[in-house]
Amino acid sequence: MEHEYYMKRCLQLAENGRQNAKPNPMVGAVIVARNRIIGEGYHVRFGEEHAEVNAFASVKPEDEMLLNEATIYVSLEPCSHYGKTPPCADLIISKGIKRCVCGCVDPFAKVQGRGIQRMRDAGIEVIVGVMEKECLALNHRFITFNAKHRPYILLKWAQTLNGFISRKGGPLQLSTPKTQMLVHQLRAENDAILVGHTTFLSDHPRLDVRQWSGQNPERIVLSPTMSAQNARPSNWTVAATIDKVIAHLYATKKQSLVVEGGRMTLQAFIDRGLWDEIRIETAPVLITDGVPAPHIPSDAHIEKIESIDGNQIITLCR
Ligand code: AOF
Ligand code: ZN
């Protein structure tokens, strides 16, 4: 319980890095001695100090003598490599810390348990996996990218109550102004976005973030026939197969991909098992005929159900 209490504080602190830490993970750290927090910090910005460094910097001079009886809580395993900053595991060892409680292992190839091992070798008691699910979820894009060597993939579609995603040959407005704005927020949070060429040609989607602040994701149209020259607007990426898209995104360090349709494209991702999350918006609308929604994969489970402006948003995970 005590561990969970302080780990919750780490998660709260980590959250402050949401805008600026990426592509690094959001990380929070708390130093505790004699049932009191004597230092805390988070990873503020990519390229700058890690959470642990900021936590140690916040310890008051009069509390420094408590470090050798202190526990440091970190939402992610302390790093063991020289990146833009020196290894946090070494810093923790040099400060004489007694115990380290980590939320989860860092799957980044240069770390992967080496930070934990290095602290154990130095005689520090290390506990791993406190609030692990929450710590992994906080950085789901970073974690998936490093653990699975591909971007985190979110499939999303909107459907009628009777399961159609569009009319045959005609538009169908299912999102509400608010859910539409949330789609723009989602785009701003992700690195790339993809549609199939039928959707691209019929809907002329902009797939930008005009209703939210932030950067547009890389926009990709999946097409076996289209060339980069006839893709308009021209700043889209054109790709012939799904595997090439995934390899391209991994090589260019894009940690996440949103697939916005249409049916064939979504189904192709599902059939290949290439998905981490599926978000379905169901509007209380009935039509008689249309394009049916993709099949929900059998290993999906319901993570969350929300109701926004009368539409139901169901999030599925595996
Ligand atoms: C930590 N604490 O607060 C964070 C960690 O290039 P660098 O030096 O910033 O290192 C980036 C890597 O360090 C990143 O990929 C991840 O493995 C780890 N992030 N580690 O000990 C932190 N943000
Ligand atoms: Zn570090």
Is 268 marked within a binding site? Answer: yes
According to DSSP, the β-strands at 311-317 and 192-196 are unpaired
Ligand nearest to the CA of 142: 1
Q: How far is CA 46 from CA 11, 18, 20, 49, 84, in A?
A: 18, 11, 6, 8, 9
Atom from ligand 1 closest to the CA of residue 106: 17
- Say what the pLDDT of residue 198 is: 87
Is 150 marked within a binding site? Answer: no
Is the CB of 96 inside a 6 Å radius of any atom of ligand 1?
Answer: no
Atom from ligand 1 closest to the CA of residue 26: 23
Amino acid 103 reads G
Helix (H) or strand (E) holding 32: strand 28-33
Ligand 1 centroid distance, CA of 114 (Å):
13
Helix (H) or strand (E) holding 5: helix 2-15
Which residues lie at CB < 5 A from ion ligand 2?
Answer: 50, 79, 88
Q: Could you tell me the end-to-end alpha-carbon distance of the chain, in angstroms, rounded to an integer?
A: 28
Q: How far is CA 306 from CA 212, 245, 280, 281, in A?
A: 21, 31, 10, 9
- Say what the pLDDT of residue 171 is: 74
Reported ipTM: the value is 0.93
The pTM of this model reads: 0.93
Is the CB of 88 inside a 6 Å radius of any atom of ligand 1?
Answer: yes
Domains of the chain: 1-146 (3.40.140.10), 150-317 (3.40.430.10)
Task: Please list the pLDDT of the chain residue by residue as tens digits (318 residues).
Answer: 799 999 999 999 999 999 899 999 999 999 999 999 999 999 999 999 999 999 999 999 999 999 999 999 999 999 999 988 899 999 999 999 999 999 999 999 999 999 999 999 999 999 999 999 999 999 999 999 999 999 999 999 999 999 999 988 777 899 999 999 999 999 999 999 999 988 888 888 888 888 888 888 999 999 888 766 566 666 788 888 999 999 999 999 999 999 998 999 999 999 999 999 999 999 999 999 899 999 999 999 999 999 999 999 999 999
- Say what the pLDDT of residue 199 is: 87
Measured over the CA atoms of residue 48, residue 53, residue 59 and residue 64, the dihedral's sign is negative
According to DSSP, the β-strands at 28-33 and 71-74 are antiparallel
Is the CB of 27 inside a 6 Å radius of any atom of ligand 1?
Answer: yes
Is 264 marked within a binding site? Answer: yes
Which residues pair with residue 221 across a beta bridge? 195, 238
- Say what the pLDDT of residue 231 is: 62
Burial of residue 260 (CB within 10 Å: 0-12, 13-18, 19+) is buried
CB atoms under 10 Å from CB of 243, counted, come to: 12
At 155, is the secondary structure helix, strand, or coil?
A: strand
* Options 4, 15, 49, 52, the catalytic residue: 52
